[in-house]
Amino acid sequence: SQKIEQNSEALNIQEGKTATLTCNYTNYSPAYLQWYRQDPGRGPVFLLLIRENEKEKRKERLKVTFDTTLKQSLFHITASQPADSATYLCALPNDYKLSFGAGTTVTVRA
Amino acid sequence: NAGVTQTPKFRILKIGQSMTLQCAQDMNHNYMYWYRQDPGMGLKLIYYSVGAGITDKGEVPNGYNVSRSTTEDFPLRLELAAPSQTSVYFCASRQPQDNSPLHFGNGTRLTVT
């Protein structure tokens, strides 16, 4: 069966450091992968999309990599700030649908 | 620019009661989705629709029903509420292009006691 797994433990990091989140998947051959941010009490918000033929994508302090051989995406938040504290979800396409990982909660300490 | 609007924000139901969770979007998106989110479990797809008059089951459809009579609205119906349906429900929509992102509402927190 298809599975999407993200870091099960929450990430607690010091302001200014880099947070690295993983998203591993099995039994998918995705044409792309998306990352979302979710704040408490709110719906997820789209951050980035990376296609299968792209190794890396950047947006401001965010960087995403996609390795279809390893079946893995890494999500980096560089020069982290307390405002980056949130839960981050990866999502893969499945016909008309998007399936989500359980998310990784990041807390950035000032 | 409202995006995806969900009502109500909160609701407490007794076992066996029924209710409809409302979802409306003003972006003219063809595709709409209902997810539920339980702590530590991620988003699970309940039902989805690729256009007015077309709906299909997701991973966890039991105990729910949907209809899609217009492009804008996609209500989710709970007929006989059970404690297992205590969750946060999110509605989302997107354009039909393959890699278009989902736009989510801010959820309905439902407790069944």
Rounded distance, CA A27 to CA B110, Å? 33
- pLDDT for the residue B55: 97
> Would you tell me which residues 29-68 of chain B have a C-beta closer than 8 angstroms to some C-beta of chain A?
31, 33, 35, 40-43, 45, 48, 50, 58
**Three-state SS sequence of chain B:** CCCEEEECCEEEECCCCCEEEEEEECCCCCEEEEEEEECCCEEEEEEEEEECCEEEECCCCCCEEECCCCCCECCEEECCCCHHHCEEEEEEEECCCCCCCCEECCCEEEEEC
Q: Under CATH, which number does the domain B4-112 receive?
A: 2.60.40.10
Q: Which residue positions in chain B have pLDDT lower than 50? A: none
Rounded distance, CA B13 to CA B89, Å? 14
Q: What is the DSSP letter of A83?
A: G
Please state the domain extents for chain B: 4-112
- pLDDT for the residue B98: 82
Residue B2 has φ and ψ, to the nearest 5°, of: -75, -35
**Total tally of structural domains belonging to chain A:** 1
Which stretches of chain A sit within 8 Å of chain B by CB?
4, 31-32, 34, 36, 41-46, 49, 51, 89, 91, 93, 96-103
Rounded distance, CA B86 to CA A80, Å? 35
Work out the mean pLDDT of chain A and round it to a whole number.
Answer: 95
Whether residue A15 is contained in a domain is answered as no
Range of the domain at A68: 25-82
Written as tens digits, the pLDDT of chain A (110 aa) is 889 999 878 999 999 999 999 999 999 889 999 999 999 999 999 999 999 999 899 999 999 999 999 999 999 999 999 999 999 999 999 888 999 999 999 999 99
- pLDDT for the residue A25: 96
Q: What is the CATH number of the domain that holds A72?
A: 2.60.40.10
Rounded distance, CA B41 to CA B52, Å? 30
Segment A39-71, tens digit of pLDDT: 999 999 999 999 999 989 999 999 999 999 999
For an interface test with A, the pick among B99, B100, B106 (most A C-beta atoms closer than 10 Å) comes out as: B99
